[in-house]
Structure 1
Amino acid sequence: MTSILGISAFYHDSAAALIVDGRIVAAAQEERFTRKKHDASFPENAIAYCLSEAGLAPEDLDYVGFYDKPLVKFERLLETYLAFSPAGLKSWLTLLPNWLKTRLHLPRVIKKGLDGKYRRRIVFPEHHESHAASAFFPSPFAEAAILTVDGVGEWATASYGTGRDNHIELTHEMHYPHSLGLLYTAFTYYCGFRINSGEYKLMGLAPYGEPKYADRILEHLVDLRPDGSLAMHLEHFNYCQGLTMTSSKFHALFDGPPRAPESPLTERHMDIAASVQAVTEEAMLRMARHVHETTGMRHLCLAGGVALNCVANGRVLREGPFDEVWIQPAAGDAGGALGVALLIWHQLLDNPRTDDQLDCQGGSYLGPEFSNNQVREFLDSAGAVYQQFDDAEELCHHVAELIADE
């Protein structure tokens, strides 16, 4: 029996995943246990849950994988600071303590998080390899094109390649600071939402507006190429050297400063959201068409934070050239925990994808579940007043009445 634990942590959406002999046993985000949204801490609770599902202890694990290469990521931060110094000094000094405390010592941190009982190999693949593995290996396809798009991993901000049987190969990358994900996050920040958190709110805001500023984005902020890659006009952004996403030139271009969080949303904000959403959809469509043309594959697997944009995904499916598209449900960094575990099993250990491992994820409900008896016992212990329904239709009708009465 071979048991492999995958971990993602210390940026956002920390998670753990466990596979045993290639079968996905459990996966969960740390936020589900700590109740801290997008919890970035070491996922000790998620790890404990995964191990308990398999009846394993840390010393029983054969491999542990972390979803990216922290030293290469630190190299990128250092090179970026040097390129923009002294402008980025404040940002650098803000980031440095956390890196010195944890991220530069990850093997030690991981072993400590496993109670000091794990003494075997820890694998560190590239960030986009973990995304790609999470997209292809659980998919129903024996072979497929793979496209991963996010803010940034180590250096890559988008990558594509192919998956065949038990092997993935990423052949092309787009590199930081040019990033579709960071473009979207910049507008998330500008419209008053939290970065790496509120992007879904920006996507939800977009249908209420008109893409009046799309041409302005394409003329002043980015050069969008036919293959979907882009070049950012960095004078409008501040993420390379500052603690904010956008610069004063960006604010002037869109007629005002960023929206204050929780302040009223205006038609202008809705139009801005619609505009960056339109640009994002166009970029994803161009990428998909280019990947299809380059790889010749009929199927596409998607992952990375931008693959959480379900509206763009829908257009790729409807208007793109692929017959079928499979998207990792946990397409963001949380899914990297599952990706690194699968990468170790299939690619590092060269285990084939058997018929029962095609389409092996079986949905996104891989975390804890609770029986009616467990729920009832908890409610009784808390002295809660509750009703139990055996008929789902009756339950829904009752809940609807309660909502209507509010």
Structure 2
Amino acid sequence: MSNVLGVSALYHDAAAAIMVDGRLIAAAQEERFSRRKQDRTVPWRAARACLDLAGLTMAEIDCLAYYEDPAMKLDRQMSMLATETRPQVARELAARIDPYRPFRALRESLGCDRPIRFVPHHMSHAASAFYFSGFESAAVLVLDGVGEWSTSSYGFGHVDRGIDLVEADRFPHSLGLFYSTITAYLGFDVNEGEYKTMGLAPLGKPVLADRLRHIIGWNEDGDVRLDLTYFDFLGLRRMWSPRLVELLGQPPRAGEEALTDWHADLASSAQSILESVVLQKASRVRERTGARNLCMAGGVALNCVANARLRQSGLFDDIFVQPAAGDAGGSLGAAAQVSRDLGSAPPVRRLRDVYLGPEYSTERDVIPVVRAANLPFGDFRIRPDELLDDVVRRLAAGQVVGWFQGRMEFGPRALGNRSILADPRVAGMRDRINGLVKLREAFRPFAPSVLRSHASTYFAGGEEHPFMLETVQALTDSLPAVTHADGSARVQTVDPQTNPRYAALLERFWSQEGCAVLLNTSFNQRGEPIVCTPTDALACFARSRLDAVVLGDVLVDVADVPPSLTASITARGKVSAFSDEPESGRALAVYELA
């Protein structure tokens, strides 16, 4: 018997997850509650939400599981400092710093006096993938920017023997940091803008790949080596040195500067290199482990184009990518690993959905918020079929609708519970939503949600894709709003068993419009987290150009939103449902702070 609270924090994408007797009960990212994008602080709000969902108090938690080893991380940080100062100064600083001090404060912030176990960063990623893959045994591949020291790791997981993991690449040699450097050069934010680089790539050609091979190389095993004269990972303002500017022949993009064909070519070139290295590494893992199945995690595993190429390669019979593959998912992996160590191994069962966050009642939570805003609303509590009919009519008429239902998703994707929906057949819909609703770059593609039973009609491959983690080719030109420049789409297949209401809406759209696909994008605007509460959803609705919002069984039409409310919310910038409370190979081993 064990109740384990997993935590990731203090870098980016802080999160919490709870496992009870090896079963995943809840997981959430702190940004959704604090309304600060990629919030790195102690995730006490997320932890509180997870405890509520588990029906536990902090006193009932047996152990905290943290997603990396702070002593190993400090070792890297001091080594980096030593290259810029005298080594003796770095050694003296390291001797005076207690790497575990922040975690005593973490326990205090969470109101918990239980021991903390520290799981190495890449082991947390590996556990988040393997223990939720449903495989009895599988190869494991972890790719990210950097953990403590490791930047890529591989190994083998077995349901009885656990995970054996070996470091493959070591900081500063990192595929993830290479890709992040190009992302920053393109003017996008690191740790958040890499998917923009991936989305820009199909608009260009990899004509700069030969130049980029001056700065990154890899051997037949996929082991990466960077020419560090082109990088500046200690820099406070940029990740590259002047040599990279000389090599590329164009200055880095600044701010909102217009994107050009050259920028698209640079993105395409970086993407082609990333895909080549991922395939080389996966081939090495297949050869060395002999495994027929593969599990992946780490930020690089969110590159859905590379994931698609890996599946198409046929190296493995089946591939499972952790849907929260970035650092937020480290909380999940740390909790799973510590649960296993305490004798509560997760069951051999594939993760089928990530609806792991809080849920809000129409009667108790939604209607009071709508009434407090003095908004007329349609109440469909006793006639839910009419609500679906109303939404289908609006979508077919070209409206854009906010869709707020059930438990909030965990991870970077909105999968039908905190989504903005539209008709994918409308040619100008992508530009409209990018420009007027989401307020984001015009090149950015949107994803399709499709009924699993109809997926093969519209998209190649035929596999199940519940988490938008791979691109596939569209088989029809009738879905322009969700088809990218290269004919691909980052598809989500929807199963009635995992999301019955969203599936019912798609079924209704199919029966009335002859289309089993909807455009699905996250319910937020540029620069803000996905909405969490009814208050967040209503605020985003009022600020944006959405035509309507559905909150549970309630529908609000934009025509009923007073201009005064829109102006008030726009002036404030955002609305939060929470008050401003205070912030309260190498062998990889788990350490404990008693």
- TM beyond 0.5: yes
Tell me the SS of whatever aligns to 1:311: helix
1:372 aligns with 2:373: no
Higher gyration radius (CA): 2
CA contact (8 A) 2:2 2:342 kept: no
Which residue is equivalent to 2:332? 338
Q: Secondary structure at the match of 1:401?
A: coil
Check if 1:175 corresponds to 2:170.
Answer: yes
Match of 1:105 among 73, 94, 101: 101
For 1:393 and 1:290, the matched residues in 2 are separated by 52
1:302 maps to which of 296, 304, 315: 296
CA gap 1:248/1:53 in 2 versus in 1, 3 angstroms? same
Q: Is the 8 A contact 2:140 2:294 kept in 1?
A: yes
**Where does 1:34-183 land on structure 2 (aligned, <5 Å)?**
34-85=34-85, 104-115=100-111, 118-166=112-160, 167-183=162-178
Query: Number of residues paired by the alignment?
Result: 390
Structure 1 vs Structure 2: percent identity of aligned residues?
42
| Alpha-carbon spacing, 1:377–1:258, altered in 2? closer, same or farther (3 Å) | same
Q: Aligned equivalents of 1:295 and 1:138: distance in 2?
A: 20
Shift of 1:139: 0.9
- Equivalences for residues 175-214 of structure 1 within 5 A: 175-214=170-209
CA distance in 1, matches of 2:371, 2:99: 43
The aligned residue for residue 283 of structure 1 is: 277
Unmatched tracts of structure 2, length 5 or more: 381-385, 401-428, 433-544, 546-594
Query: Which residue does 2:320 correspond to in 1?
Result: 326
Determine helix, strand or coil for the equivalent of 2:399. Answer: helix
The one-letter amino acid of 1:376's match is I
In structure 2, the CA distance between the partners of 1:320 and 1:78, relative to structure 1 (3 Å rule), is farther
Q: Give me the whole-angstrom Cα distance separating, in 2, the residues matched to 1:86 and 1:278.
A: 39
Change (3 A) 1:362 1:42: same
Show the counterpart of 2:510.
none
Q: Deviations along 1:355-378, whole A, 9 cap, x unmatched?
A: xx421x331221112233332332
Q: 2:389 and 2:70 mapped to 1: Cα distance? A: 50
Inter-CA distance 136–299: structure 2 relative to 1 (3 Å threshold): same
Q: In the TM superposition, what is the alpha-carbon distance from 1:71 to its structure 2 partner?
A: 1.9
| Aligned counterparts of 2:167 and 2:314: Cα–Cα separation in 1 | 20
TM-superposition CA deviations, 1:280-324 (whole Å, max 9, x none): 001000111110000000000000000011110111111141000
* 1:402 counterpart (393, 399, 403): 399
Task: Specify the code of the residue in structure 2 equivalent to 1:364.
Answer: V
Deviation per residue, 1:374-399 (Å, 9 max, x gap): 32332122223444563435314314
Maintained 8 Å contact 1:3/1:18? yes
CA distance in 1, matches of 2:50, 2:359: 12
Secondary structure of the residue that 2:398 maps to in structure 1? helix
Deviations 1:330-366 (A, max 9, x none): 00000000000000111x2244454xx421x331221
CA 1:353 to 1:114, structure 2 compared with 1: closer, same or farther past 3 Å?
Answer: closer
CA contact (8 A) 1:285 1:320 kept: no
State TM-score, norm by structure 1.
Answer: 0.91
| 1:234 alignment counterpart | 228
Correspondence for 1:349: 342
Q: Secondary structure at the match of 1:28?
A: strand
Contact 1:221 1:232 survives alignment (8 Å): yes
Check whether the contact 1:299–1:322 (CA below 8 A) recurs between aligned residues.
Answer: yes
Q: Secondary structure at the match of 2:49?
A: helix
Change in Cα spacing, 1:366 to 1:259, as seen in structure 2 (3 Å) is: same
Amino acid at match of 2:274: T
Q: Name which of 367, 381, 388 aligns with 2:372.
A: 381
* Residue 257 of structure 1, CA deviation: 2.0
Residues 70-113 of structure 1, C-alpha deviations (whole Å, 9 max, x = no match) = 121111011112124379x9xx9xxx9xx97x965133122111
Residues in 1 aligned to 2:52 and 2:278: alpha-carbon distance in whole angstroms: 40
Q: Distance in 1 between matches of 2:185 and 2:392?
A: 39
TM (norm. structure 2) is 0.63
Counterparts of 2:107 and 2:277, CA distance in 1: 41
* Larger deviation, residues 174-183 vs 221-230: 221-230
Distance 1:103 1:398, change over 3 A: farther
Residue type at the aligned position of 2:375: A
Residues in 2 aligned to 1:104 and 1:234: alpha-carbon distance in whole angstroms? 31
Distance 1:255 1:393, change over 3 A: farther
After superposition, the CA RMSD in angstroms is 2.2
Residue 362 of structure 1 corresponds to which residue in structure 2?
A: 352
| Structure 1 equivalent of residue 405 of structure 2 | none
Offset at 1:171? 2.5
User: Which residue identity is paired with 2:342?
Assistant: L
1:15 to 2:15 alignment: yes
